[in-house]
Amino acid sequence: MKGSPNSVLRTDGSLRKKRRFGTPGKPLSHGSSSQSVQAQRAGLPIATGKRALIEEIRKNDVSILVGETGSGKTTQVPQYLLESGIAGQGMIAVTQPRKVAATSLAARVATEQNVSVGSLVGYSVRFDEASSDETRIKYVTDGMLVRELLGDPLLSRYSVVIVDEAHERTLRTDLLITNLKDIQRRRNSPSDVKGKSSAAKLNPLNVSQPDYVDAAMRTFFQIHTDQPPGDVLIFLPGQEDIEGLERSIQLYVDRLPKDIPSIVVCPMYAALPPSQQARIFTLAPAGYRKCILATNIAETSITIPGIRYVIDTGKCKEKRYVARDSGTGFDTLLTRDITKSSAMQRAGRAGREGPGFCFRLYTEDAFDAMAESAEPEIRRCALTSSMLQLRCLGQDIEELDFMDKPDQEAIGAALKTLYLLGALDNKRCLTKLGRDMAVFPLEPNLARAVVASREFGCTLEVIDIVSVLSASSKLFFDSTDEREAASEARRKFRHRSGDHMTVLNVVRAYQVVAAAEKKSGRREWCKRQFLNERCLAEAQDIRDQLREVCTRMQIDWKTSCGEDEQPVLKCLVRGLVQHAAYLQPDGSYKQLMGPSIVKIHPSSSLCDKKVPVIIYDELVYTTHIYGRGVSAVPRSYIAEVPVLNVKGT
């Protein structure tokens, strides 16, 4: 609770010794990065413990490091290890649960080493990598390192693996720790790093506020008009709330009296493009107050300087697995109360450089009612993708020595999904198909569609669609302001079969524009069509990577089915077979493999249509259960799914 524990896990000593070059303990000369950066490094709380830390890590195969956020664990420890020579010629991996933390930390540490990202210091996250033969410190997402296990079960390229933010207990981190335990003897040596923050003064509410976004806005303007200078950090659950609050604040800014300082609003969430994320680290111009709107990403993963005031809505989004009686289920993001541990972390973000204040938009009773800390992801998320990866490593999720064992129900659901996708046979053994699927850095259902495209001759099209579905932001904005104009603009992309082919039409149109226009032209075009350019640009990167994977697997990604949508839909059915629903006499849809009644999401091009069978990308829970990303498919396509076929005969 007091800080974020990082475990420093070293691979075995023999490897280390064999690989050690140069004089151990002698610092590698790092370039002359600006003196202020070096002074800042030397002033971090962790710097006083540097020598002891290196000694501990040198002596022990496993070390657990606990320290306050901002004390220098993530940025400094890898550099200390590099300088001390402990890592020998191998790489130092530092895992992060989030992509944006990995990339921004790599940038920071590269600056401290006075090198460019991708040389000595690099990163590797899904669909993006900056590293080279020179790279010695690599910030990676925990998921990427799990993926690396598939090709290199001993992680032999790394002499040190730092499992950062281990307390978050993401599914991938748990998987990684289980595997790391497997490949080394385990010894523990806790050592403490003292933090330097002055505790923030807490201001809880007396009455609870149901509309936390509105409460956050009012609190912010009270601070802004009444309190001395100092930046404000507001914690909100997710991107939508952040965007909503940003708009509201901007509206009010124009009406502020002249004598009140101006405001710079900086959003911060995982899906934000790196160029915009960088803004939160830059100082606001003189006379301005910076207001950062962030998700729990700013709790521990990212340290933002200059924060004096924290506003904590007490909410976060949490991925949760919704189990269904039928033994199937899915992950969904739910807004929920944070834990006590998060609340303390949030308060701790204020006043790192002086007295700080935390405004909690919840009562003390609400705080007391919070859980101590978050339930590990392995206990609440879908296991499908991890189970497939483990099977490829020859491991069985039920037999592994986890810190917390996954739920039997979730295991059953994952097994069922993998069986329906054809990745496991009826003896639960990995199939060739399953092995092929695991090569793609995609959710298993989308990987299944791509693999199927080889058989149906439409890899070009399926990859284009899957890339958009795998992007971190949505293609279409759900904006309510210009709904009419947006749907008008979208009409020309519509395909009668539904949303997947509509996505393909958009991608095709964008590709023509992207080939002909510069950046500004593309942006203009997307704006006119009410399309999210960020999604399309990201999808193109993903597409290029998927094409590379196909080439490696000798799947010809240029194979196209032209204008015929049928092969594409057949592939999608193979992947989304669990997401099929049949029209009922009353106009609703009933899941083929579950008990739920599903409506077509209002954003779908099929929203007001009555088609006999649909498949959907995901379920959304609001007043009803909605299927989003919907296509109409002939009933026969479902019957043709091999697994269902076997059952039927």
List residues binding Mg ion (CB under 5 A).
73-74
In whole angstroms, give the CA distance from residue 438 to residue 459.
17
Angle of CA points 583, 620, 334, to nearest 5°: 155
294 phi and psi angles, rounded to 5 deg = -130, 155
Spatial neighbors of 578 by CB under 8 A, at least 6 apart, are: 328, 417, 420, 445, 592, 593, 594
CA 646 distance to own-chain centroid: 37
List residues bridging with 316 in a β-sheet: 336
305: contact with ligand CDP by CB under 6 A: yes
Q: Closer to ligand CDP by CB, 36 or 408: give it.
A: 36
Q: Is 70 in the site for ligand CDP (CB under 6 A)?
A: yes
Among 7, 76, 295, 529, binds ligand CDP (CB under 6 A): 76
Of 163 and 555, CB closest to Mg ion: 163
Q: Does 170 bind ligand CDP (CB under 6 A)?
A: no
Minimum CB separation from Mg ion for residue 470, in Å? 27
Footprint of ligand CDP on 21-50 (CB under 6 A): 44
Q: Which residue's CB is nearer to Mg ion, number 231 or number 299?
A: 299
Closest CA to 243 of 273, 272, 283, 285: 272
| Number of alpha helices (DSSP H) and beta strands (DSSP E) in the chain | 24, 21
What is d(CA 293, CA 403) in angstroms, rounded to the nearest whole number?
Answer: 34
**Residue 626, phi then psi, degrees to nearest 5:** -110, 140
Which is closer to Mg ion, CB of 84 or CB of 104?
104
Residue 358: what residue type? C
Single out the residue of 7, 63, 69, 467 in contact with ligand CDP (rule: CB under 6 A).
69
Quick one: 66 or 615, whose CB is closer to ligand CDP? 66
Least Å distance, CB 574 to ligand CDP, is 43
Alpha helices in 475-598 (DSSP H): 483-491, 499-516, 519-529, 533-552, 566-576
Q: Which is nearer to ligand CDP, 121 or 433 (CB)?
A: 121
Cα angle 378, 67, 98; round to 5: 40
Q: The tokens of 240 are what?
A: 């939508």
- Binds ligand CDP (CB under 6 A): choice among 47, 64, 253, 281: 281
> Which of Mg ion, ligand CDP, none has residue 72 at its interface (CB below 5 to 8 Å by kind)?
ligand CDP
CB 80 to ligand CDP: min, Å: 11
Phi, psi dihedral angles at 600 (to 5 degrees):
-80, 130
Q: Tell me the three state secondary structure of residue 7.
A: strand
**SS3 (DSSP) at 640:** coil
The residue within the footprint of ligand CDP, chosen from 7, 11, 63, 75 (CB under 6 A), is 75
Q: Which does 356 bind (CB under 5 to 8 A by kind): Mg ion, ligand CDP, none?
A: none
The nearer residue to Mg ion, 73 or 448, going by C-beta atoms, is 73
At its nearest, how many Å lie between ligand CDP and the CB of residue 62?
19
Q: Which helix (H) or strand (E) holds 185?
A: none
Closest separation between CB of residue 101 and ligand CDP, Å? 9
CB nearer ligand CDP, residue 96 or residue 313: 96
Q: How far apart are CA 398 and CA 415, in angstroms?
A: 11
Task: Say which entry of Mg ion, ligand CDP, none residue 305 contacts (CB below 5 to 8 A, set by partner kind).
Answer: ligand CDP
| Nearest residue (beta carbon) to Mg ion | 74
Q: Which is nearer to Mg ion, 73 or 490 (CB)?
A: 73
Q: Which does 351 bind (CB under 5 to 8 A by kind): Mg ion, ligand CDP, none?
A: none
342 sits near ligand CDP (criterion: CB under 6 A): no
According to CB under 6 A, which one of 303, 386, 395, 467 is a site residue for ligand CDP?
Answer: 303
| CB closer to ligand CDP out of 136 and 416 | 136
Strands (E), 148-281: 158-163, 190-193, 201-205, 231-235, 262-268
Cβ neighbours of 203 (radius 10 Å): 16
- Token pair in block for residue 166: 């281990």
Helix 444-456 × helix 432-439 angle, to 10°: 110
Which of ligand CDP, Mg ion, none does 49 bind, CB closer than 5 to 8 A by kind? none
| Residues 92-151 interacting with ligand CDP (rule: CB under 6 A) | 104, 108
Distance of CA 488 to the CA centre of its chain: 33
Of 72, 143, 267, 594, the residue at the interface with ligand CDP (CB under 6 A) is 72
Residues that bind ligand CDP (CB under 6 A): 44, 67, 69-76, 104, 108, 281, 303, 305
